Amino acid sequence: MSRPIACHAPLALVSAFLLALPLPASADACTDRLAGQLMRLPHGGAPYEALTTVDSAGFKTVILQRFQHELHYANATIDPKGAPEILMHDGVTYMADGAGGWSRVHAADPAEMQRQAAEIRAAQAAAILQASCDTLPHDGRTVDRISGRIAPVPPYDGELAILYLVDPATGNEVRTEMDYSINGVAMRATFDFTPAPGLALPVPV
């Protein structure tokens, strides 16, 4: 049975009052912004370099990531020294052979790789538990800070805590910090980004 129409007037007034309150709207906007960051590729898929530090069980690894596009990127380990550079191109993983060339290591369907990566990003965006947004000074400029907690989504086996520092002029990440665990091992990763518009990575033949 439908409710009397007269009952709707007080509800409408309460709803209008609640909508006028700033805190819920701000929280929703921040959650949406964090979801947007989780959904997009770093720098919107444009070329960049990222100095990446990963701490795991007291062991630190520093990697220079160079990203031309989603299916063409390279990882060079800076510390510890001695590891060969890894190059990914159109689903094929290569390893530097030490003589100026590349050895083929593994191949996968590039379309499937993109589909799986997009699926993970969407799952994380849908699993936000908490979000926070504000601004702070960083390297002589003011940046947007977008952070939050994400419910467990594979490959992570616990909550993901993530923080983005974003240049408000471009929308691109300046720095990203992640705390997570994989196979029960706690890890912390930081990424310091630099745009690289002219980046041209090698294409093995």
Q: What is the pLDDT of residues 107-150, one digit of tens each?
A: 999 999 999 999 999 999 999 999 999 999 999 999 999 999 99
d(CA 153, CA 155): 6
What is the rounded average pLDDT for all residues in the chain? Answer: 89
43 vs 55: CA distance, rounded Å: 24
* Over residues 90-101, mean pLDDT: 96
Q: Which helix (H) or strand (E) holds 126?
A: none
* Dist. CA 128–CA 131, nearest whole Å: 7
- The residue with tokens 């159109």 is 90
What is the C-alpha separation between 48 and 74, in angstroms, rounded? 11
Cβ 105 vs Cβ 93: under 8 Å: yes
Structure tokens at 93: 């993983």
**CA–CA distance, 113 with 8 (Å, rounded to integer):** 51
% of residues, the chain, pLDDT over 70 = 87
